[in-house]
């Protein structure tokens, strides 16, 4: 009985209040059709405004973000699932049809460029590279004597090299997004035969060597590329480049470059040396901390 009384009171209150709510919402309902038309832009953002060193990171963050927001688990920039071309195996998911194109990739039979794993990774990498190239265009119009601008340019060249490297590993013949101030027509008319196989690897090396000359040994902000990371990628790219595949009909190795292999050794040693130095510094810090703790223990024990 008490429950029915409460229910009736709530229902009567709702009936009494509802017309007032509807009346209050009426102006919104009648005016929403003109809302967007009546909005006047308050300002525009130009490249001149974002190219200042204090603002440039607000633009470049979109290029970095592409590494995690553009990729997908099934079209990962790490290429974890594309190594079925070599000695890895794809065991499938819920059934045979789950990820079936990777099974065909493993068998090297019936691989189609329209299959989602291949068209997707292609599109995603070029979306990422468009962000990087736009960032480089803005950086090129900034003060070239500013240390921040010089540093960020090196970082973007590293990111551009990374994108092209992963694409070339997958597809071999790729369009290179490396021209300044590219228009939509420029993008639409890119050719994947502009460079020979050897020249394509060299385009990636050029970006990495430019970055290597500038990048620091350590970065205050973790996640930005270092000199050691750049050296490691240079070693990998030179290793691919060393095995020339100049015969378009066979795609077989036609010669091996001793000079390129020497570069592999050079940059591998540089990368390892840098890592070992960082590890040594870390060990020293840990050792110093341990010594400090040992001196404190007698005072901490009660």
Enter the pTM of the model.
0.74
Query: What span, in angstroms and rounded, lies between the C-alpha atoms of 228 and 234?
Result: 10
The answer to whether 149 and 143 are in contact (CB under 8 A) is yes
Backbone angles phi, psi at 243, to 5 degrees: -95, 90
pLDDT digit string, tens, across residues 169-184: 989 999 999 999 998 8
Half-sphere exposure of 15 (CA within 13 A, CB side): 6
pLDDT digits (tens, 9 = 90+) for 69-90: 887 777 777 777 777 767 666 6
Average pLDDT, the chain: 80
pLDDT tens, position by position, 12-68: 555 555 555 545 555 555 555 566 667 777 777 677 777 788 888 988 999 999 888
DSSP codes of every residue in 76-133? -TT-TTTGGGTT-----SSSTTTTHHHHHHHHT-S--TTSHHHHHHHHHHHHHHHHHH
pLDDT tens across 224-267, in order?
Answer: 999 999 999 999 999 999 999 877 787 789 899 999 999 999 99
Q: What is the pLDDT of residues 120-140, one digit of tens each?
A: 889 999 999 999 999 999 999
Reduce the DSSP state of residue 45 to 3 states and report it: coil
């Amino acid at each position: 009985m008490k429950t029915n009384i409460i229910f009736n009171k709530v229902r009567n209150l709702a009936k009494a209040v509802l017309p007032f709510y509807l009346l209050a919402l009426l102006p919104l309902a009648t005016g929403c059709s003109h809302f967007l038309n009546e909005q006047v832009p308050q300002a525009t953002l130009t490249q001149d405004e974002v190219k200042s060193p204090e603002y440039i990171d607000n633009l470049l963050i979109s290029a970095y973000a592409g590494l995690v927001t553009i990729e997908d688990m099934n079209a990962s920039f790490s290429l974890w699932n594309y190594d079925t071309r070599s000695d890895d195996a794809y065991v499938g998911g819920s059934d045979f049809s789950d990820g079936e194109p990777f099974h065909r990739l493993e068998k090297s039979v019936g691989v189609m460029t329209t299959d989602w794993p291949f068209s997707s990774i292609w599109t995603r990498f070029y979306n990422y590279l468009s962000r990087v190239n736009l960032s480089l265009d803005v950086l090129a119009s900034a003060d070239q004597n500013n240390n921040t601008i010089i540093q960020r340019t090196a970082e973007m060249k590293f990111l551009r090299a990374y994108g092209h490297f992963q694409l070339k590993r997958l597809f071999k013949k790729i369009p290179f997004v490396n021209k300044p101030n590219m228009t939509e027509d420029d993008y639409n008319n890119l050719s994947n035969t502009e460079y020979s196989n050897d020249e394509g690897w060299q385009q990636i090396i050029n970006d990495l060597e430019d970055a290597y000359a500038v990048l620091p040994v350590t970065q205050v902000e973790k996640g930005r590329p270092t000199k050691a990371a750049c050296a490691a990628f240079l070693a990998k790219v030179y290793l691919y480049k060393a095995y020339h595949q100049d015969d378009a009909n066979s795609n077989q190795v036609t010669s091996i470059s001793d000079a390129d292999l020497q570069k592999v050794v050079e940059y591998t040693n540089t990368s390892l040396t840098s890592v070992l130095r960082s590890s040594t510094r870390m060990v020293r810090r840990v050792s110093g901390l341990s010594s400090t703790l040992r001196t404190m223990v007698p005072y901490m024990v009660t």
